[in-house]
């Protein structure tokens, strides 16, 4: 279903990140009322984000309270995530646990806790990564964590159909968010120049407006 975002309340989880901030800015320019769930509100642009809640996304109770405090709303975007590099043999238990807690379990909890507050005709959008369906050596655990979230979003698409809530999975290629310079573990391999976050944000917002439910890597070809 197509959407006019003017006046719509949209919650961005991870709104202080590079891509999250780009999404917030562009949504605000489209007339949306932007809310945020963040760990640190000090980096939020108060001219763009009109309301926020503080939460650690690995804390289910905190997410539940955050969404309840910002409700009701018309859409949720999860722009939070972490990365780790190295073979499975090299990654320790803490790194593996954190990868899955943030990249796989947290999006599922976000959807579970926010769905009751999303208006009919609204959406839940999870920003995953190309590796969810195209796993890479040296990034096996990261790829698996993203694949887990992808599987959950595909299943939830059918579960929320009766509520007329779209579940949108987004798998952009490497984007210059700086995430690769802040891994939980390991060192990033030599990567090609990534996409401009502003371009990725524009494409995501276009998909929301046009009612697209799946954005594979090919959807980001300029």
Q: What is the pLDDT of residue 137?
A: 94
**Edge-to-edge strands, sheet with 73-78:** 49-54, 33-38, 9-13, 73-78, 118-127, 166-170, 214-215
In sequence order, what are the beta bridge partners of 149? none
> Taking the model in full, what pTM does it have?
0.96
Q: Can you point out the beta strands (E) in 107-201? A: 118-127, 166-170
How large is the average pLDDT for residues 160-187?
A: 95
DSSP three-state, residue 130: helix
CA distance 58 to 42: 20
Nearest to 202 by CA among 7, 27, 18, 12: 27
Q: What is the pLDDT of residue 122?
A: 97
Nearest to 32 by CA among 13, 46, 11: 11
Which band of pLDDT confidence, cut at 50, 70 and 90, is reported for residue 2? confident
Q: What is the pLDDT of residue 200?
A: 98
Average pLDDT, the chain: 96
Take residue 37 and report the two structure tokens written for it: 């769930």
> Which CATH code is given to the segment(s) 9-220?
3.40.50.720
Q: What's the pLDDT tens digit per position in 10-44?
A: 999 999 999 999 999 999 999 999 999 999 999 99
Q: What is the pLDDT of residue 191?
A: 86
What is the radius of gyration, based on Cα positions, of the chain? 16
């Amino acid at each position: 279903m197509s959407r006019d975002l003017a006046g719509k309340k949209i919650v961005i989880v991870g709104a202080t990140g590079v891509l999250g901030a780009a999404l917030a800015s562009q949504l605000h320019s489209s007339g949306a009322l932007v809310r945020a769930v963040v760990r640190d509100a000090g980096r939020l642009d108060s001219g763009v984000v009109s309301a926020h809640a503080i939460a650690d996304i690995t804390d289910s109770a905190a997410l539940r309270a955050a969404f309840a405090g910002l409700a009701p709303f018309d859409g949720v975007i999860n722009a939070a995530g972490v990365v780790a590099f190295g073979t499975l043999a090299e990654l320790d238990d803490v790194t593996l646990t954190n990868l899955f807690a943030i990249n796989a379990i947290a999006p599922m909890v976000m959807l579970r806790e926010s769905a009751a507050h999303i208006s009919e005709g609204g959406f839940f959008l999870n920003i995953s990564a190309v590796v969810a369906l195209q796993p890479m050596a040296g990034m096996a655990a990261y790829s698996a964590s993203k694949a887990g979230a992808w599987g959950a979003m595909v299943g939830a698409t059918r579960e929320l159909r009766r509520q007329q809530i779209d579940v949108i999975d987004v798998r952009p290629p490497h984007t210059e968010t700086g995430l690769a310079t802040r891994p939980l573990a390991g060192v990033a391999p030599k990567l090609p120049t990534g996409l401009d976050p502003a371009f990725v944000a524009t494409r995501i917002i276009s998909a929301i407006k046009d009612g697209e439910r799946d954005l594979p890597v090919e959807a980001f070809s300029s």
